[in-house]
Amino acid sequence: MPDTNDTGSNREKMLKDPPFYLPEFEQSYRYIIDEYDVSPRDIAIFMPCAMRKPYSTSPSHRLIRSIIADVLDPSQYHIVIFGTCGILPAELELMYPYAHYHYMLGKVKDQNIKDDFLRIETERVAGYLEKTRNTYRFRVAYCIGLFREALIRGSEQAGVPFDLILPSRDLINVIIEEDCPFQEGSLSMDEYLQEFHQGLTEIKSKMEQSECKKLDC
C-alpha cells in the first residue's frame, strides 16, 4: 500500500520522465482502483492536474476551488484530479508519486508520445469511472485539450456519462477565434470560470430538485 501522506525520502525524488509511462504511477493507480475506498458524494468534479505540487496550491486550482466553494457545500462534492498523473481522488495529492514529478505535456512535439498519453489516460479514466459507477449522482468536468479528449473517451469506454463538461465547445470555439487562433486558452480565463460557476449552479439546482421530488415537497 502506498504512503498516502509521504514525508519520507521519496519527497527528495523528483520524477521528470513522462509520468504515464512510469511504473510508480501505474502502481499507485492500481492501488486507487483495487484498494482505495472512495466515499460517496452527490457530485464528482473532475479537474486537470497542475504543474505546481501539491495540486491544491497551484494558482489555477485555487481559482477553480474558489468557484466550487462559492456554489457548493464541501459535503456535496468530491474533487478528482486527472491528466498526465493518471487519475486520483484529490485527497491523495500528497501520495507518492503525485507530488513528486515535473512534466508538461503541452510542450511535447512528438505525436507518438501524445498518442500514448491519450491511450493510457483513456484507460485509466475508464477504470476510475467503472469503479465509481454508483459513487456519485452527478459528474462534472472542467478541462480542455488532450485531457478533455481522454476524459470523453474514457467516459464512452466505461459507459458512464458526464452530466456536464466545461468549458462548452461553443465557448472554446469563441476563445480560439478571438484570442488564440491555435490554442484553447487557459482554464483560469474569466470567460471559462464564469461559465463553470453557472454550470455548477445549474447542477446544484438539479440536485435540489431531485431531492425535492424524493421528499414530495
- Whether residue 95 is contained in a domain is answered as yes
Report if residue 133 sits inside a domain. Answer: yes
Domain for residue 14, yes or no? yes
- Judge whether 35 lies within some domain: yes
- Within a domain: 98: yes
- C-beta atoms surrounding 41 within 10 Å: 19
| Domain of 99, in residue numbers | 9-166
Question: Which amino acid type is present at position 158?
Answer: A
> pLDDT tens per residue, the chain (217 residues)?
566 665 444 555 789 999 999 999 999 999 999 999 999 999 999 999 999 999 999 999 999 999 999 999 999 999 999 999 999 999 999 999 999 999 999 889 999 999 999 999 999 999 999 999 999 999 999 999 999 999 999 999 999 999 999 999 999 999 888 755 557 889 999 999 999 999 999 999 999 887 777 776 6
Residue 207 placed within a domain: no
Residue 175 lies in a domain: no
Q: What is the pTM of this model?
A: 0.91
Q: Tell whether 172 is covered by a domain.
A: no
> In CATH, what number is assigned to the domain containing residue 162?
3.40.50.10630
**Structural domain count of the chain:** 1
